Amino acid sequence: MPSETTIKSSSTPPNRLALRGDLLDFSAQPAWGVLDSPAVRFQPDHWLLIADGRIQGSQAAEPDESWHKVDHSGRLIMPGFVDTHVHCPQLDVIASYGTELLDWLNTYTFPAECRYADPAVAQAGAERFLDALLAHGTTAAVVFSTVHKVSAEALFAAAAERGMRLITGKVLMDRHAPAALLDDVASAERDCIDLIDRWHGQGPRGRLAYAVTPRFAPTSSAAQLAMAGALCRADASLYMQTHVAENRAEVRWVSDLFPQARSYLDVYDQLGLLHPRAVLAHGIWLDDEDRQALLRRGAQLAFCPSSNLFLGSGLFDWAAAAGTGVPVSVASDVGGGTSLSMQRNLLDAYKVQALAGQRLSAWAALHAATRGAAEGLGLTHELGHFGTNTLADVCVWDWACGPVAQARDAVAQNLHERVFAWMCLSDERNLVSSYVAGKISYHRKT
Ligand SMILES: [Zn+2]
């Protein structure tokens, strides 16, 4: 393994940074199943140039002494991952035994979320959570807080400190949960409007955004969902995040609660919650008509493979979504998911597709976790690839850690084989450094 050499010059302006390594990103969406894709940009042993936190380009030649140079030769450098569905307060219940979704919420999740009413708990939890994301190579995320206004504020404040792209909002829940986790339509609307005024489009470089966040149809009344839809209609720059069709018992419950709706997804559609900035987690138990509705509205699905396997929720049909043209990203859904590592989730995504007779290439998987996610969120001008003037959210990875992965890496015959093995065998232990807008935000100690 190469030694890490930092070449410092006392006269170097700190805002010019050059990272040397094997650069990998995507110029477009790789076609499904194509291993020799023109959308893959691989630049072995190149320098990635970053000035004022933005990517300026890349080159094979060593840059001049006006750059602060960090030599990661022999390592992989990629855009930071984007986790499009994850719950901050659920770090405390990750890896909880023995339940399906609805029992899991009542037994583990709701008690954990109650604690976030305390501002000190919310602040410490937000900081621990965002630092954990950065230590897993995730530099941007779409995040659930709790019903408490203070929990969303804590996340926004902690993300602003770190300069991260963060999309979050106060969770809306006015029924079917413990009293300590319930709001009501009027107070929820006031809290949302106040949070939007204070945080949406704010933070360093305007990287914070508000997501209207009904937890899911069973825990919001029709009146509350309608209020959420009205907020979205009033400002098209707002995001919306929720869950849909994760588990069969949940789908049956929604059908009892909303008998007038054609389907679970239709509840959201009828109340104005589906639009190009809507991120719906799971979407396992959808039909073709639902997928057409998603396409029509421009909404996207966040596939949460480790969560779906862990809770026994079902197998997401990525090929059907892709065939319809619905954007799909990959998400950890911690604490239903079992790891914040996007590689582990991508490996689970591969296994879920394999069970359906589909093969997920490393290109399709890694694109979905970087540029594809950025496209779905309308953020390709900012992140997800190494294009000029995007913010330098960048991660440096070891190609292989430990004798098994190192031996596998050494015998790879072509680029896809090597990257696929990396995706399957790596995790947060491979992460060397994370940069957010060109600023180092995580660095491995050893
Ligand atoms: Zn979730």
Three-state SS for 328-359 is: EEECCCCCCCCCCCHHHHHHHHHHHHHHCCCC
Going from the Cα of 37 to the center of ligand 1, the distance in angstroms, rounded, reads 32
Reported as a pLDDT band with limits 50, 70 and 90, residue 9 is very low
HSE-up (13 A, CA, CB side) for residue 104: 24
In degrees and rounded to multiples of 5, residue 93 shows phi and psi of: -120, 10
Going from the Cα of 204 to the center of ligand 1, the distance in angstroms, rounded, reads 27
Going from the Cα of 217 to the center of ligand 1, the distance in angstroms, rounded, reads 13
Going from the Cα of 241 to the center of ligand 1, the distance in angstroms, rounded, reads 10
Going from the Cα of 20 to the center of ligand 1, the distance in angstroms, rounded, reads 37
Averaged pLDDT for residues 134-151? 98
Residue 32: the pLDDT is 87
Averaged pLDDT for residues 40-64? 98
Span 289-312, pLDDT tens digits = 999 999 999 999 999 999 999 999
Going from the Cα of 222 to the center of ligand 1, the distance in angstroms, rounded, reads 20
Averaged pLDDT for residues 107-134? 97
Going from the Cα of 78 to the center of ligand 1, the distance in angstroms, rounded, reads 26
Residue 33: the pLDDT is 86
Judged on CB neighbours under 10 Å (0-12, 13-18, 19+), 130 is: buried
Going from the Cα of 79 to the center of ligand 1, the distance in angstroms, rounded, reads 24
Give yes or no for residue 150 having a pLDDT over 90: yes
Give yes or no for residue 11 having a pLDDT over 90: no
Token code pair at residue 186: 């009027």
Higher pLDDT, 48 or 99: 48
How high is the mean pLDDT of the chain?
95
Residue 446: the pLDDT is 73
Averaged pLDDT for residues 95-106? 90
Going from the Cα of 124 to the center of ligand 1, the distance in angstroms, rounded, reads 21
Span 350-404, pLDDT tens digits = 999 999 999 999 999 999 999 999 999 999 999 999 999 999 999 999 999 999 9
Give yes or no for residue 105 having a pLDDT over 50: yes
Neighbouring CB atoms inside 10 A of 415's CB total: 17
Span 157-209, pLDDT tens digits = 999 999 999 999 999 999 999 999 999 999 999 999 999 999 999 999 999 99
What is the Cα–Cα distance from 207 to 34, expressed in whole angstroms?
34
Going from the Cα of 8 to the center of ligand 1, the distance in angstroms, rounded, reads 44
Tell the residue number behind the tokens 């149809």, with chain if given. 217
Averaged pLDDT for residues 220-235? 98
Residue 14: the pLDDT is 60
Residue 50: the pLDDT is 98
Give yes or no for residue 3 having a pLDDT over 80: no
Going from the Cα of 280 to the center of ligand 1, the distance in angstroms, rounded, reads 9
Q: Can you tell me whether residue 374 is helix, strand or coil?
A: helix
Give yes or no for residue 417 having a pLDDT over 60: yes
Residue 328: the pLDDT is 97
What is the Cα–Cα distance from 21 to 77, expressed in whole angstroms?
6
Reported as a pLDDT band with limits 50, 70 and 90, residue 228 is very high
Going from the Cα of 38 to the center of ligand 1, the distance in angstroms, rounded, reads 34
Residue 111: the pLDDT is 94
Give yes or no for residue 235 having a pLDDT over 60: yes
